Amino acid sequence: MMAVQPPSSFPLPYPRPRPDCEQCMRLEGMGRAARAAHDRSRETDARVLLRHHYREVHENRATPGRPGC
């Protein structure tokens, strides 16, 4: 089993949503609403989901058969 290396810098930079992507904008809205409500847990969840979505869809790592934005 390989050891997982942590990213070189914490906290990770906030992912930048693409304005032409409905899913990016929805997740960004979730994060903004959570920040406004001072719900750091929900804000973190939205950031993680946005980062995962961005990686899967926008960085050319989309799963075959899975549509992008």
Does residue 13 lie within any of the structural domains? no
Does residue 69 lie within any of the structural domains? no
Does residue 37 lie within any of the structural domains? yes
3-state SS, 26-44, equals: HHHHHHHHHHHCCCHHHHH
Does residue 49 lie within any of the structural domains? yes
pLDDT score recorded for residue 8: 62
Whole-prediction pTM: 0.69
pLDDT digits (tens, 9 = 90+) for 3-56: 666 656 666 777 788 999 999 999 999 999 999 999 999 999 999 999 999 988
pLDDT score recorded for residue 38: 95
Does residue 46 lie within any of the structural domains? yes
pLDDT score recorded for residue 66: 55
Does residue 5 lie within any of the structural domains? no
Does residue 50 lie within any of the structural domains? yes
Instruction: Count the domains in the chain.
Output: 1
pLDDT score recorded for residue 27: 95
Q: Are 18 and 58 in contact (CB under 8 A)?
A: yes
